[in-house]
């Protein structure tokens, strides 16, 4: 069950909780030793708690390119979090720094207990022989260094686990983004969560983090925890069946197939607007950098959400409109002057919507990329919401017609024609959004509070080299921009990100 190549679109994060775990396996102990002193121990699950897969399940769609990335240490989903702990009611001294035990969240999630197994030349998923946790506590280390080492450490796919966590103990004088939280929750930690992107997509990442947060808060409250399973692990057989149906349908209509392939070929060979405006960079080796996250103004966010609702569009479409306008204005000021601009963006879409009988969380990598080409006039700000409605209509229609699956089929057909293009950048940028106004954000626990959240995703070698992420925590919504140094400079990326925030604020303030 491995992510299609080029779908490594979800990130690393930074939070702030209270009291966190100390159960762990000794995996990667030496790699992180240069960062700080660590505590780790192996954790074995009692037999009564094991929920074995009844059968090993094939992951026939595993793609070698993705596994090569994972083997080289470029693991997928990562979250870096900061934590504060409430002063214990049982009277531990305020200056003490207790290090808690790891919540048994993996007992409730099948995907956290699996590994890969090769059989007859194919990769399958199966239970770990001895379920364990790769968790380490790091003292005296810098969270960025810990995160870098963690993200460049390969997994033991045949043994598992396919996820890891690192708790970085903060010194007493470490600043907190939310000082008012630290007053009541004095113990601060960074939590780094890294998950193999072949098994966990963005939704899995968010749900695991939420489960970890809730379990930790319940443990500190003395609640009785159970090991009832959350969700189910599914392979991609239904999506593969849909691929076969779409391929067969296209082959029966040669004229339509030819037109679609020509359209996709134009997209796959286009030059991004950033490259047009600022030239092609040749930095080697390339690196992914992340700008400092920006918390969107809460009052303006409420106004923006109300405007989205009034125009019957999603927040996702509204923010995509913001991104498009900001990019268009930036390249226009740089000398790319046109009456209108074609902006090509990439979006991870969950294929769970195409599954039958879904009644709870479906674990596994079930994300497919979908591209969107949007034509916007140079003065789109003057009629912003009209263009957002067009974006929203197009987006919904593509998803309804299984657009991500159809694009996968077309891109597979085109592969022989474009195999020599290497890591050519195609799309202007990508958007990954895990925020929705109707979903309650996590982070306000009784004993645990999140005070910061930071995401990371490597965009090196992908068809897009710039990624905007939207994440919700507590009562805030945070945006951040990741970019490859071989695509855009830090100065230009910062200017674009600043323009995006300006367009968002101006749109919320404007009288429509």
DSSP states along 333-398: HTT---SEEEEEEEEEEEGGGG-SS--S-EES--EEEEEEEEEEETTGGGGHHHHHHHHHHHHHHH
d(CA 125, CA 234): 10
DSSP secondary structure code for residue 53 in this structure? -
Contact residues for 388 (Cβ-Cβ < 8 A; gap 6+): 308, 311, 313, 317, 318, 320, 321
d(CA 47, CA 50): 5
**Where in the chain are the domains?**
29-233, 237-437+459-509
The reply to whether domains 29-233 and 237-437+459-509 share a CATH topology is yes
d(CA 508, CA 512): 9
Give the chain's count of helices (H) and strands (E).
13, 18
Q: Where are the alpha helices (DSSP H) in 234-314?
A: 237-251, 254-268, 273-278, 298-310
Residue-wise pLDDT for 377-390, tens only, equals 999 999 999 999 99
Which has the closest alpha carbon to 69: 114, 18, 119, 7?
Answer: 7
d(CA 343, CA 391): 11
DSSP E strand stretches across 388-491: 429-433, 448-456, 466-473, 476-484
d(CA 191, CA 271): 39
Class of the domain covering 29-233: alpha beta
Two tokens, residue 36: 């700080």
d(CA 379, CA 394): 20
- Are 462 and 249 within 8 A, CB to CB? no
Q: How many residues does the chain have?
A: 512
d(CA 175, CA 180): 12
DSSP secondary structure code for residue 355 in this structure? -
Strand pairing category for 232-233 and 362-363 = parallel
Strand pairing category for 135-139 and 37-39 = antiparallel
d(CA 444, CA 217): 10
User: pLDDT per position in the chain (512 positions), as tens?
Assistant: 333 323 322 333 333 333 332 222 222 222 222 233 333 322 222 222 223 333 344 443 343 323 333 443 444 444 444 443 332 222 222 222 344 555 666 778 888 888 888 888 888 888 888 878 888 888 877 888 888 788 778 888 888 899 988 888 888 888 887 788 888 888 888 888 888 888 888 888 888 888 888 888 888 888 887 778 888 888 889 999 999 999 999 999 999 999 999 999 999 889 999 999 999 888 778 888 989 889 999 999 999 999 999 999 999 999 999 999 999 999 999 999 999 999 999 999 999 999 999 988 999 999 999 999 999 999 999 999 999 999 999 999 999 999 999 999 999 999 888 776 667 899 999 999 988 888 777 788 888 888 887 777 788 888 999 999 998 888 889 999 999 999 999 999 999 999 999 999 999 999 87
Q: Which residues pair with 118 in a beta bridge?
A: 123
Strand pairing category for 57-58 and 187-195 = unpaired
Q: How many CB atoms lie within 10 A of CB 441?
A: 18
Two tokens, residue 204: 């899995």
Contact residues for 95 (Cβ-Cβ < 8 A; gap 6+): 172
The fourth-level CATH superfamily of domain 237-437+459-509 is Nonribosomal peptide synthetase, condensation domain (3.30.559.30)
């Amino acid at each position: 069950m491995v992510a299609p190549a080029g779908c490594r679109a979800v990130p690393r994060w930074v939070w702030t909780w209270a009291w966190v775990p100390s159960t762990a396996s000794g995996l990667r102990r030496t790699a992180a030793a240069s960062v700080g002193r660590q505590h780790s121990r192996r954790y074995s699950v009692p037999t009564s708690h094991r929920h074995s897969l009844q059968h090993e399940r094939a992951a026939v769609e595993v793609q070698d390119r993705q596994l090569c990335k994972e083997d080289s240490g470029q693991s997928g989903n990562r979250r870096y979090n900061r934590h504060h702990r409430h002063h214990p009611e049982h009277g531990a001294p305020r200056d003490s720094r207790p290090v808690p035990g790891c919540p048994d969240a993996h007992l409730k999630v099948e995907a956290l207990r699996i590994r890969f197994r090769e059989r007859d030349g194919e990769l399958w998923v199966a239970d770990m022989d001895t379920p364990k946790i790769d968790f380490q506590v790091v003292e005296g280390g810098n969270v960025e260094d810990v995160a870098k080492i963690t993200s460049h450490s390969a997994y033991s796919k045949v043994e598992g686990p396919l996820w890891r966590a690192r708790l970085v103990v903060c010194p007493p004088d470490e600043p907190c983004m939310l000082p008012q939280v630290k007053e009541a929750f004095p113990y601060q930690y960074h939590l780094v969560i890294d998950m193999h992107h072949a098994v966990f997509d963005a939704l899995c990442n968010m749900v695991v983090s939420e489960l970890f947060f809730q379990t930790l808060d319940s443990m500190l409250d003395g609640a009785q925890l159970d090991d009832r399973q959350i969700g189910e692990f599914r392979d991609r057989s239904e999506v593969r069946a849909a691929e076969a149906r779409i391929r067969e349908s296209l082959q029966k209509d040669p004229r339509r197939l030819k037109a679609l392939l020509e359209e996709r070929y134009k997209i796959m060979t286009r030059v991004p607007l950033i490259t047009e405006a600022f030239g092609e960079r040749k930095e080697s080796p390339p690196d992914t950098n992340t700008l400092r996250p920006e918390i969107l103004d809460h009052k303006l966010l409420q106004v923006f959400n109300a405007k989205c609702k009034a125009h019957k569009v999603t927040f996702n479409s509204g923010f995509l409109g913001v991104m498009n306008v900001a990019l268009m204005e930036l390249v226009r000021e740089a000398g790319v002057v046109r009456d209108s601009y074609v902006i090509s963006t990439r979006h991870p879409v969950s294929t769970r919507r195409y599954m039958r009988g879904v009644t709870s969380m479906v674990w596994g990598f079930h994300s497919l990329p979908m591209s969107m080409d949007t034509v916007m006039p140079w003065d789109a700000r003057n009629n912003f919401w009209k263009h957002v409605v067009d974006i929203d209509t197009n987006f919904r229609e593509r998803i309804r017609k299984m657009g991500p699956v159809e694009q996968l089929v077309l891109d597979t057909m085109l592969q022989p024609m474009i195999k020599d293009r290497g890591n050519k950048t195609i799309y202007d940028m990508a958007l990954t959004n895990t925020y929705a106004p109707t979903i309650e954000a996590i982070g306000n626990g009784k004993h645990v509070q999140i005070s910061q959240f930071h995401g990371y995703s490597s965009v090196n070698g992908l068809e897009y080299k710039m990624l905007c992420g939207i994440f919700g925590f507590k009562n805030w919504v945070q945006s951040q921009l990741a970019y490859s140094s071989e695509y855009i400079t830090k100065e230009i990326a910062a200017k674009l990100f600043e323009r995006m925030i300006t367009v968002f604020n101006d749109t919320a303030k404007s009288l429509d």
